[in-house]
Amino acid sequence: MGVAYSSLPSPFPCTATIHITGSSLFPYASKANPERVINSIFNHTNNICLANLQKPTKKFGSFSRFSHHSTCLGSKIVPSKCCAKVREMETQERILQKPLIDFHGIDEELVQKMVYDALVWSSLHGLVVGDKSVQRSGKVPGVGLVHAPFALLPMAFPESQWNLACEVAPIFNELIDRVSLDGKFLQDALSRTKKVDAFTSGLLDIHSKMLEINKKEEIRLGLHRSDYMLDEQTKLLLQIELNTISASFPGLGCRVSELHRSLLNYHGEHIGLDPRRIPGNTSVDKFAEALAKAWTEHNRPRALVMVVVQPEECNMYDQHWLCAALKDRHNVTTIRKTLAEIDKEGEILPDGTLLVGGQEISVVYFRAGYAPTDYPSEAEWRARLLMEQSSAVKCPSISYHLAGTKKIQQELAKPNMLERFLENKEDISKLQKCFAGLWSLEDSDIIKKAIERPELFVMKPQREGGGNNFYGDDVRTNLVRLQKEGTQEDAAYILMQRIFPTVSPTILVREGICHKDHAISELGVYGAYLRNKEKVIVNEQCGYLMRTKVSSSNEGGVAAGFAVLDSIYLS
């Protein structure tokens, strides 16, 4: 999760309903920033009008504003004791109904029962991660397991915006493929960044070598995730980022949707929620199918799919769900290797075949290699280059990886830039409506505005994985510093419009502890794209990931410890 809502005080004290391990959920939640909710208006030509900004307002004072009355949801009558308050929101097109749970109305014993049932379900159905406090939990499967952090109930989301996110997924897939083929565009757009960012420079060097030898990727596979937030004021679904490498949680995200559907089947009548309003989520099966089809296109029946992993991976079970689906549904075998192991065991035969430990590899699926910490020595860079030089299908290739960087995202948002890669005007219009404000730090006017109103911006480096962005006063401090120093370090960053999504009450569960708080959510929609030369074999939306975090947190990311897994309740 990349951009966030301003902090708000908790409306009621944290309530631990079940204690199993740990001491608190989100210990940073009590460190609230000054109260402010700035509603901003950004247009899609990347200009900002500060005169149109409203004064800070407080969106939620307490949950007592949710009334206790009966209402209808689908064919069910909601009991008055534990009802869903329906709040109408005016949008540019029509009125959307957004059901919100009356958390004061839910009996505490019912909450405890649901938490207990959810923890049992998670344990029985593999909604688990490695416990970082347990030695070897990130290396040895089955050692130090703990349930993945999750929201107890699904988050309401407008059905019209959900449909839009699904509709644009194949268009973004096609865009990434087109951008990846334009080597000059990638090199030129990232040329200034290369001078000040060693990690991006390393990726560009590999890309340059592939251009020099005219390396063609005839079989191109992308497993993407486009992340969005729904802006409170404009009701626009705005893209935060497009992940082209290591799009995580297709396995566990499916489990959470199943968990919530199970809870609502048992308890839905008591809280007024219909399990049929949770959309199906088949991301792990769809990703496995795309990998299997790439393996088939490569046409080497004895070859394997190699998952590139980090040396210690507490999120290994999300990856194992995908590997299990590959084997069970498609009879494709996988192996897991770190970059260091690939450097040690890997070789390329004269015909381009990639061997690792003597085993032929047909598809390389990266769940590592997206951060500078994944390359602690030259060995890891050698491994990345080795794989790129081979004839194996890379997911992603180096060009797909670069196409997903923040700088490229900012470049694509420039006026008339999408027309360079897409022909369909309707498709272009749909993508443009999803773009938030994005600016280069070469834009002196926007720098001035960001220094004046830093709370309206996020300052982003070329990094993935969460915990890297600057917010609030840190935006001003770093922009002023860069101006004074007068170096080219500004090329390592972009500025992005800060999105202010709706804040909703929710119940979060981490390490067996139930915690009520205000929260915001981020929707990620998965997409798969497979092409062999001129033939497009797969181009589709592949399920979703919903992540929810307390509204007082700027940063996001489940693996980084900021958010919990969630699912969608269509409203």
Is 95 flagged in the annotation as binding? Answer: no
Is 65 flagged in the annotation as binding? Answer: no
DSSP 490-556: GGGEEEEEPP-BPPEEEEEEETTEEEEEEEEEEEEEEEEEEEETTEEEEEEEEEEEEEEEETT-S--
Query: Pick the catalytic residue: 232, 241, 289, 341?
Result: 241
Distance CA 451, CA 481 (A): 11
Distance CA 345, CA 182 (A): 32
Q: Catalytic annotation on 465?
A: yes
Is 336 flagged in the annotation as binding? Answer: no
Is 49 flagged in the annotation as binding? Answer: no
Q: For the chain, give me the number of helices (H) and strands (E)? A: 15, 25
Q: Catalytic annotation on 215?
A: no
Query: Pick the catalytic residue: 137, 243, 397, 478?
Result: 243
Is 225 flagged in the annotation as binding? Answer: yes
Q: Tell me the CA distances in angstroms from 324 to 321, 328, 368, 391, 443, one per residue in order.
A: 5, 6, 19, 25, 48
Tell me: cis bond preceding 27? Omega within 30 of 0 counts. Answer: no
- Helix ranges (DSSP H) in 377-472: 378-389, 398-403, 406-412, 425-434, 444-452
Is 462 flagged in the annotation as binding? Answer: yes
Q: Tell me, what amino acid is at 546?
A: M
Is 245 flagged in the annotation as binding? Answer: yes
Q: Catalytic annotation on 241?
A: yes
Is 547 flagged in the annotation as binding? Answer: yes
Is 178 flagged in the annotation as binding? Answer: no
Distance CA 122, CA 124 (A): 6
Is 390 flagged in the annotation as binding? Answer: no
Q: Tell me, what amino acid is at 364?
A: V
Q: Catalytic annotation on 136?
A: no
For strands 304-308 and 359-366, give the pairing: parallel
Distance CA 206, CA 228 (A): 30
Q: Catalytic annotation on 394?
A: no
Is 2 flagged in the annotation as binding? Answer: no
For strands 504-510 and 513-532, give the pairing: antiparallel
Is 79 flagged in the annotation as binding? Answer: no
Is 461 flagged in the annotation as binding? Answer: yes
Is 92 flagged in the annotation as binding? Answer: no
Is 154 flagged in the annotation as binding? Answer: no
Q: Return the H-helix or E-strand segment holding 116.
A: helix 108-125
Is 559 flagged in the annotation as binding? Answer: yes
Rg, the chain, Cα only: 23
Q: Catalytic annotation on 380?
A: no
Query: Pick the catalytic residue: 220, 293, 460, 476?
Result: 460
Is 499 flagged in the annotation as binding? Answer: yes
Q: Which two tokens stand for residue 322?
A: 């995908």
At residue 536, what are phi and psi to the nearest 5 degrees? -85, 115
Query: Pick the catalytic residue: 297, 341, 455, 464?
Result: 464
Q: Tell me the CA distances in angstroms from 186 to 190, 431, 462, one per residue in order.
A: 6, 20, 14
Is 406 flagged in the annotation as binding? Answer: yes
Query: Pick the catalytic residue: 194, 406, 407, 510?
Result: 406
Is 214 flagged in the annotation as binding? Answer: no
298 DSSP assignment = H
Query: Pick the catalytic residue: 411, 504, 547, 552?
Result: 547
Is 384 flagged in the annotation as binding? Answer: no
Q: Return the H-helix or E-strand segment holding 257.
A: helix 250-271
Is 37 flagged in the annotation as binding? Answer: no
Distance CA 10, CA 571 (A): 25
At residue 478, what are phi and psi to the nearest 5 degrees? -75, -35
246 closest CA partner among 364, 136, 354: 364
Q: Tell me the CA distances in angstroms from 467 to 153, 177, 409, one per residue in order.
A: 26, 28, 19
Is 442 flagged in the annotation as binding? Answer: no
Is 280 flagged in the annotation as binding? Answer: no
The answer to whether 153 and 263 have CB atoms below 8 angstroms apart is yes
| Residue for token pair 């307002």 | 57
Q: Catalytic annotation on 547?
A: yes
Q: Tell me the CA distances in angstroms from 358 to 342, 361, 501, one per residue in order.
A: 11, 9, 51
Q: Catalytic annotation on 460?
A: yes
Q: Catalytic annotation on 225?
A: yes
The answer to whether 347 and 358 have CB atoms below 8 angstroms apart is no
Query: Pick the catalytic residue: 80, 465, 511, 561?
Result: 465
Starting at the edge strand found earlier in the chain, the sheet holding 438-440 runs 438-440, 493-497, 457-461, 470-471
224 DSSP assignment = E
51 DSSP assignment = G
CA 19 to the chain's CA centroid = 29
Would you list which residues are annotated within the binding site for substrate?
225, 245-248, 313-315, 319, 367-370, 547, 558-559
Would you list which residues are annotated within the binding site for Mg(2+)?
241, 243, 464
Q: Which of the residues are catalytic?
A: 225, 241, 243, 248, 406, 460, 464-465, 547
Would you list which residues are annotated within the binding site?
225, 241, 243, 245-248, 313-315, 319, 367-370, 406, 460-469, 471, 496-499, 522, 547, 549, 555, 558-559
Would you list which residues are annotated within the binding site for ATP?
241, 406, 460-469, 471, 496-499, 522, 549, 555
